[in-house]
């Protein structure tokens, strides 16, 4: 049960906000560009309920009216239909809709109710933006009118090219900015400079099991020497000590124990039979002043970006295996990373790892969306750049079909990656189950 608790917390507290920040960038710039935002949703559909709807406008036989967000619209209401509208006093020169009904036909004659009513054909309908709460807590989404179709004057596709590019790229850029700020906060709250080792798994019938080591134990010292470099240091102790007892100082459930374990000789080096993971030393936390934290955050992000750009060269030199380089990670894998980071930060009282991993995920979301692939923000922006170069727009129908095909391919790939993450996770689910 603890596994699902950590995954749920990671989704709601870490991954969800990063996706929501991305959509917030699109929302704010679309509103600023004058494009009509149809809906801003918290979570992914299906919709649970509408939190709020802004005021909009409508026209009946050309007469413009204020449409309050509180007025319930008949299902499927659209221009060209016949309606009956009850009005009430509103802003000067603009009547306010109090109730609206759809009717089959306009009678040539017939009495209206005593209150002020209008019958006619709905000639324009522009309801305000809907703010909705949806079932799947995976961040959010923004629906903007006419992302490929410029026929409506308030559509995104009808905006100038500079505004379309701004709207399309703003989500990714806001993710990158959020990553920088999170990384800066991580350094400001304190970065551990030394690391212990947590035992993640114990191989059955191994020297570690015989010695009494358990998953979750934190090794703080070997033969009385305090660990400082985490799993790298402990592995060196184990590999260089076949047949020699190692006196391990272990923290288990807030109590220190001394456990003697003797590695056996396997393949020319010591083998103990444990899975290791670095575990920060709370006594080594160093807090950075904000200017220094900003510099450290910038260097960390630059290092990540450079490592991604250098990945082909590292594979060609054998520094990274091709399997590791091309192993994609989906939502379950990302949640595994985030859940483990959150678990470690809560258990150690050091927020650095949770903030750092969340920043890296936000950076990854931003950079991935900038890729010039159909259906992604970068792919849509590429169409705008092509239009600017060739001087005319690619037909909206063609662009829409390309993005739909790209979306179908991305969904298919995502489903395969999700299956891989569940069957063969990069972060074993057992690490979250203790």
- The tens digit of pLDDT for each residue in 94-149 reads 889 999 999 887 766 666 556 688 888 999 999 999 999 998 776 788 999 988 78
**300 and 272 fall within a common domain:** no
**347 and 426 fall within a common domain:** yes
Domain contains 42:
no
**421 and 298 fall within a common domain:** yes
**248 and 375 fall within a common domain:** no
pTM of the model: 0.83
Domain contains 221:
yes
**244 and 275 fall within a common domain:** yes
Domain contains 414:
yes
Q: What is the 3-state secondary structure (H, E, C) of 215-252?
A: CCCEEEEECCEECCECHHHHHHHHHCCCCCCEEEEEEE
**294 and 357 fall within a common domain:** yes
> How many C-beta atoms surround the C-beta of residue 274 within 10 A?
27
Q: Which residues of 289-319 are buried (b: 16+ CB within 10 A; e: fewer)?
A: eeeebbebbeebbeebeeeeeeeeeebeeee
Domain boundary among 227, 255, 280: 280
**276 and 311 fall within a common domain:** no
Helix then strand count (H, E) for the chain reads: 12, 17
Instruction: Return the closest-CA partner of residue 180 out of 285, 92, 96, 304.
Output: 304
Instruction: Return the closest-CA partner of residue 338 out of 234, 227, 421.
Output: 421
Domain count, the chain: 2
Domain contains 169:
no
Domain boundary among 262, 280, 298: 280
> Contact 356/342 with Cβ under 8 angstroms?
no
pLDDT the model gives residue 296: 96
Domain contains 375:
yes
**257 and 273 fall within a common domain:** yes
Domain contains 39:
no
**418 and 339 fall within a common domain:** yes
CATH number, domain of 239, equals 2.30.42.10
Rounded CA separation 242/262 (Å): 7
Domain contains 312:
yes
Q: Which domain holds residue 247?
A: 195-280
Which pLDDT tens digit goes with each residue over 46-93? 899 899 999 999 999 988 999 999 999 998 898 999 999 998 876 667
The mean per-residue pLDDT over the stretch 239-266 comes to: 92
């Amino acid at each position: 049960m603890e596994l699902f608790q950590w995954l749920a917390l990671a989704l709601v507290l870490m991954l969800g906000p990063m996706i929501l920040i991305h959509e917030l960038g699109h929302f704010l710039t679309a509103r600023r560009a004058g494009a009509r935002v149809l809906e801003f949703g918290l979570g992914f559909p299906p919709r649970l309920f509408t939190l709020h709807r802004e005021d909009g406008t409508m026209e009946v036989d050309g007469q413009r009216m204020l449409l309050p967000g509180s007025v319930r619209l008949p299902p499927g209401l659209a221009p060209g239909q016949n309606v009956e509208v009850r009005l009430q006093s509103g802003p000067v020169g603009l009547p306010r809709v109090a109730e609206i009904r759809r009717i089959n036909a306009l009678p040539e004659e017939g009495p209206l109710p005593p209150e002020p009513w209008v019958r006619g054909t709905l000639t324009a309908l522009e309801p305000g933006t809907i703010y909705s709460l949806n079932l799947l807590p995976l961040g959010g989404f923004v629906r903007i009118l006419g992302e490929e179709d410029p026929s409506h004057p308030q559509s995104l596709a009808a905006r100038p090219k500079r505004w379309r590019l701004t709207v399309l790229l703003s989500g990714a850029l806001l993710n990158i900015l959020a990553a920088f700020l999170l990384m800066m906060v991580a350094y400001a709250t304190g970065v551990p400079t030394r690391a212990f080792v947590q035992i993640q798994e114990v191989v059955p019938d191994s020297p570690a099991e015989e010695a009494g080591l358990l998953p979750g134990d934190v090794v703080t010292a070997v033969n009385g020497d305090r660990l400082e470099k985490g799993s790298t240091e402990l592995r060196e102790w184990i590999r260089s000590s076949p047949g020699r007892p190692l006196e391990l100082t272990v923290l288990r459930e807030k109590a220190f124990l001394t456990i003697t374990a003797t590695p056996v000789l396997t393949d020319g080096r010591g083998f103990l039979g444990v899975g290791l993971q670095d575990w920060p030393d709370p006594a080594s936390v160093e807090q950075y002043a904000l200017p220094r934290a900003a510099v450290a955050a910038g260097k960390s992000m630059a290092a990540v970006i450079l490592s991604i750009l250098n990945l082909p060269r590292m594979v060609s030199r054998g520094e990274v295996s091709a399997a590791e380089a091309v192993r994609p990670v989906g939502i379950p894998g990302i949640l595994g990373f985030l859940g483990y980071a959150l678990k470690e930060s809560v258990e150690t009282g050091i927020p650095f790892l949770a903030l750092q991993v969340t920043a890296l995920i936000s950076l990854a979301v931003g950079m991935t969306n900038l890729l010039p692939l159909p259906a992604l923000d970068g792919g849509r922006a590429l169409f705008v750049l092509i239009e600017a170069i060739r001087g005319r727009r690619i037909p909206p129908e063609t662009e829409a079909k390309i993005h739909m095909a790209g979306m179908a391919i991305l969904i298919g790939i995502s489903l395969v990656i999700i299956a891989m993450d569940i069957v063969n996770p990069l972060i074993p689910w057992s690490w979250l189950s203790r």
